[in-house]
Amino acid sequence: MIDSPARMVPSVVILDCDGTLVDSAGHIAAVFNEAIVTLGYAPLPPERIARIIGLSFDDALQRLLPESSADERARIIHVYRAQYAVNAVGRDPLFAGVREFLDLVRGQGRHLAMATGKSRAGALRIIAEHGLGDYFVTVKTGDLCRPKPHPEMLFQILDEIGVPAERAIMVGDTTFDMEMARAAGMRPIGVGWGAHEAEELAEAGAELVVPRLTDLAPHLQRLLPD
């Protein structure tokens, strides 16, 4: 009797959204400042706001406005979410090379998933606007999972598609993404164009930091061998 060939264990490339796939920091900062001004707070520097993208909204507000009350934070979150989607089309463009990278990964037979601090509604809006629905087998968001850097969303992705942590990589632009990946037992990969500097990502455990998403492609076979 001839033995059947062993079934290849699938692999997955998990991607952050804001700062990794889409250039949304400017839009986020502008709407964030609009929201906090309604409660009498002074606008904050956009680069300071960009540093906390990826955290839960309440955690971000506690870091940026430590004097704010829980009621104030709830009101800011409500105003922000209502305003963010207004005239949002075209405000969060894809970074160069994103679609080419997604096509390449899918062409190699690997799964793609998204793990983002955005709300479910916000993530689905980005996916619909850019026609990315056919790429991602699953999308996990910070409003339905414990937010970054907790690894819950990564564990849910692995369980859902039946992939062990050693067959997954997490790609993101913040130290929160790197910490989340390490906590989940998978390899963290940083991108060098987002909110946190390459040196910070390396210090947080990034195995590799790429200057463009397409530059990750030559490393996939080493990171996730067939």
Neighbours of 1 (CB within 10 A): 3
Which stretch of DSSP H or E encloses residue 83? helix 70-84
CATH number of the structural domain spanning residue 127: 3.40.50.1000
Residues 182 and 107 in one domain: yes
Domain membership flag for residue 176? yes
DSSP 8-state code for residue 165: G
Number of domains in the chain: 2
Residues 58 and 100 in one domain: no
CATH number of the structural domain spanning residue 64: 1.10.150
Tell which of 65, 84, 103 closes a domain.
Answer: 84
pLDDT of residue 8: 65
Instruction: Please tell me the distance from the alpha carbon of residue 85 to that of residue 150, in angstroms, as a whole number.
Output: 27
pLDDT of residue 88: 81
Instruction: Please tell me the distance from the alpha carbon of residue 91 to that of residue 76, in angstroms, as a whole number.
Output: 21
Angle, helices 70-84/57-64, rounded to nearest 10 degrees: 120
Domain membership flag for residue 74? yes
Active-site annotation holds for 3: no
Return per-residue pLDDT of the chain as tens, 226 residues: 344 344 467 999 999 999 999 999 999 999 999 999 999 999 999 999 999 999 999 999 999 999 999 999 999 999 999 898 887 888 999 999 999 999 999 999 999 999 999 999 999 999 999 999 999 999 999 999 999 999 999 999 999 999 999 999 999 999 999 999 999 999 999 999 999 999 999 999 999 999 999 999 999 999 999 8
Domain membership flag for residue 5? no
Active-site annotation holds for 59: no
Q: Which whole-number Å values give the CA distances from 167 to 9, 10, 49, 184, in the listed order?
A: 8, 7, 33, 12
Tell which of 63, 84, 105 closes a domain.
Answer: 84
76 Cα distance to chain centroid = 22
List 16, 23, 92, 173, catalytic entry: 16
Neighbours of 153 (CB within 10 A): 27
Tell which of 55, 84, 113 closes a domain.
Answer: 84
Domain membership flag for residue 205? yes
What domain range is 160 assigned to? 12-23+92-223
Residues 118 and 214 in one domain: yes
List 18, 23, 92, 173, catalytic entry: 18
Which stretch of DSSP H or E encloses residue 170? strand 168-172
Residues 128 and 177 in one domain: yes
Domain membership flag for residue 189? yes
